[in-house]
Amino acid sequence: KNEVEQSPQNLTAQEGEFITINCSYSVGISALHWLQQHPGGGIVSLFMLSSGKKKHGRLIATINIQEKHSSLHITASHPRDSAVYICAVRFLGDGGKLIFGTGTRLQVFP
Amino acid sequence: DTGVSQDPRHKITKRGQNVTFRCDPISEHNRLYWYRQTLGQGPEFLTYFQNEAQLEKSRLLSDRFSAERPKGSFSTLEIQRTEQGDSAMYLCASSPQGNEQFFGPGTRLTVL
């Protein structure tokens, strides 16, 4: 069965802390996405990756294809990073649709 | 604005009524996806189109749900005889084939 699991479900941090959110999936993928969702529902795509590592500002996403695992890191976290972070994958041979994890709710306190 | 738009943003309806949502994708994107998200959960796939062809439908999409993309541009999602369990956020996304998906703001449906 094509499944995506995220951990932790909830995460609180003090401003400035280094944050890591993990995502694992069950079978081979063509791409993995990290998404950010703020209260009110809007979803923003942060990264799409199929191998290696990508960096954008304070955000870093890595993926290990052999271990079927990805991580999203936030360096020097800030209260404005508070949001739900969702991992979503496109499984091989599964068309273009995304299968989503349940999300990680991050709260960063000043 | 060249982003994905959805209309309406909020819909409150009574059980048993029909509702229709619209999604306007980014103009050059040939793929359009519908997802549904309930509170505290990640989105779930409903259906997707490549141009005007509906390529896949989830088992979640009961016979009360129908989606169209008649000219390969905007899409509509209709729910007939709504039930309280249909209350959710309905998200639309578009992409160039096989690439990053761009999401609309969603339509929040409340069925009373």
pLDDT (tens digit per residue) in B35-63: 999 988 899 999 999 999 999 999 888 89
Low-confidence ranges of chain A (pLDDT < 70): 1
Q: How far apart are CA A12 and CA B35, in angstroms?
A: 28
CA distance B29 to B13: 31
Mean pLDDT, chain A, whole residue set: 93
- pLDDT at position A27, please? 86
Q: Do B91 and A48 touch (CB under 8 A)?
A: no
Q: B72 phi and psi, to 5 degrees?
A: 75, 15
* B1: pLDDT strictly greater than 60: no
Any CB–CB contact under 8 A between B17 and chain A? no
Three-class secondary structure of residue A58 per DSSP: coil
Tokens, residue A84: 């739900």
**What pLDDT, on the 0 to 100 scale, is given for residue A1?**
67
CB contact under 8 A, B44 and A100: yes
| Interchain CB contact of A30 with B (< 8 Å) | yes
A74–chain B Cβ distance below 8 A for any pair: no
Nearest CA in chain A to B43: A100
The whole-number pLDDT of residue A8 equals 96
pLDDT tens for each residue of B68-93: 999 889 999 999 999 999 999 999 99
For chain A, percent helix, then strand, then coil, each to nearest 5? 5, 60, 35
Reported as a single tens digit per residue, the pLDDT across A91-110 is 888 778 899 999 999 999 99
Q: How far is CA A67 from CA A64, A70, B92, in A?
A: 5, 9, 31
**Per-residue pLDDT at B2:** 73
When the pLDDT of each residue in chain B is averaged and rounded to a whole number, the result is 93
Rg (alpha carbons) of chain B, rounded to whole number: 13
Closest CA to B26 of B7, B4, B48: B4
